[in-house]
Structure 1
Amino acid sequence: MSELGTLARVRSKNAGPFWMTVDIFCEADTYARVAAIPTETFATRLGAAEMRRFDLPDLHVVKLSLPRPQVQGSARDRDMHGAALAHVLTGMDV
């Protein structure tokens, strides 16, 4: 097994006040391995009850979008730019 962070570049970002996005950039030889991970596995790891997944095989990218736990910029928002999500997936065993 390998950690996802050794197979791909994982980047998370803000996708507006209500959504955050995680992009998993793969090399051509690792894309199939990452794309085979079930959406439910990612959702469980991220603690998301709802998630949208977009597989982009021509770009070797898996994109995950999930609702923000708090509206961006609200008093309870602890990750205004959505940057912490990448760290959650980077250490995931694949």
Structure 2
Amino acid sequence: MRLADLAAMIRSKNAGPFTLTFDILFTDDASYERVKRSGALNAQMFARLYKTDPAKVRFFECDKARAFKFSIPHPTTQAALGSADLHGGQQFIPLLDVRIP
């Protein structure tokens, strides 16, 4: 099953000019726990997906909020010449197809 089929919201945004942050939120405990138990979301997977150093990925599991949060260095400075996404709002797309066993 795809992450997009289980999560209520998958979003990305700038967290300042040098950091992108990603939120994956669930409406029910069962879906959140399924994803958490699968281990499919982790810093190494995220680093591969976004072509960054795993040591620079900040990964949080937020049980009370039924959410996962990832933050990575922005590949370019926000609003830099050549930056394709001023607000970081389109960077979540690769997460939609992450497979959850």
TM-score (norm 1): 0.89
Please tell me the residue identity of whatever aligns with 1:43. Answer: A
Matched, 1:73 2:79: yes
Corresponding residue SS for 1:30? helix
Q: After the TM superposition, list the runs of 4 or more consecutive aligned residues in structure 1 that deviate by more than 4 angstroms.
A: none
Shift of 1:81: 0.8
Aligned residues: 93
Match of 2:2, as an amino acid? Answer: E
Match in the other structure for 1:44? 48
1:4 is aligned to 3
Alignment of 1:1-94 (within 5 A): 2-8=1-7, 9-26=9-26, 27-35=28-36, 36-37=39-40, 38-49=42-53, 50-94=56-100
Q: Secondary structure at the match of 1:66?
A: strand
Higher helix share: 2
TM-score by length of 2: 0.84
Q: Unpaired runs of 5+ in structure 2?
A: none
* CA deviation profile, 1:18-67 (whole Å, cap 9, x unmatched): 00111000221111232322321122112222210111001100000011
Query: Which structure 1 residue ranges, 5 or more long, are not aligned?
Result: none
